[in-house]
């Protein structure tokens, strides 16, 4: 699995940040590739909650799932798009008046690399940087 990390800061306390990040319905606010996200099963904020998300220029349907959540320090989710899988883990800790966030983005696929490149699929590094920038902007923070 290809994995990349970005770090950012946000002016929120860990509890507020955790509540925001565990609600995958809010992904369109900070993930550039998500146009909509609706709860499809489980409870908002509950591990195992599944969401139908529309992504990309072609507005294709993918399934996102909250895979782990430890209050108030960590949230993890996965997104499955056919044979491609994206895993994101956000770990945060208090820093000054807010939080420091470490975001790990991992991407795996059963497709051959040339097929992913032909589809224009972004790398884990590109996704991590764009997600980190989007989250920092949404929360009034900054990439570190």
pLDDT computed for residue 124 by the predictor: 87
Task: Parse the chain into domains and list their residue ranges.
Answer: 2-143
Provide the residue-wise pLDDT of the chain in tens; the chain has 144 residues. Answer: 789 999 999 999 999 999 999 999 999 999 999 999 999 999 999 999 999 999 988 899 999 999 999 999 999 999 988 778 899 999 999 999 999 999 999 988 766 554 455 466 788 899 999 999 999 999 999 999
- pLDDT at residue 114, as a whole number: 46
pLDDT score for 86: 93
Asked if 136 contacts 12 with a C-beta cutoff of 8 angstroms, the reply is no
Decide which of 3.40.430.10, 3.40.50.970, 3.40.109.10, 3.30.530.20 is the CATH code for 2-143.
3.30.530.20
DSSP state of 30: T
Q: What was the pLDDT predicted at 107? A: 87
Residue 56, pLDDT score:
87
Alpha-carbon distance of 123 to 138, in angstroms, equals: 22
Q: CB within 8 A of 137, min separation 6: which ones?
A: 30
């Amino acid at each position: 699995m290809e994995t990349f990390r970005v770090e950012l800061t946000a002016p929120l306390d860990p509890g507020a940040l955790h509540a925001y990040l565990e609600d995958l319905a809010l992904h369109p606010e900070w993930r550039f590739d998500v146009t909509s996200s609706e709860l499809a099963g489980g409870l908002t904020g509950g591990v195992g909650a599944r969401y139908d998300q529309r992504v990309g220029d072609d507005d294709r349907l993918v399934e996102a799932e909250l895979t782990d959540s430890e209050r108030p320090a960590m949230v993890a989710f996965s997104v499955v798009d056919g044979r491609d899988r994206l895993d994101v883990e956000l770990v945060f800790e208090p820093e000054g008046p807010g939080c420091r966030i470490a975001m790990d983005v991992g991407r795996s696929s059963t497709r051959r690399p040339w097929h992913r490149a032909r589809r224009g699929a972004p790398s884990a590094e590109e996704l991590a940087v764009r997600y980190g920038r989007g989250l920092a902007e949404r929360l009034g923070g900054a990439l570190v």
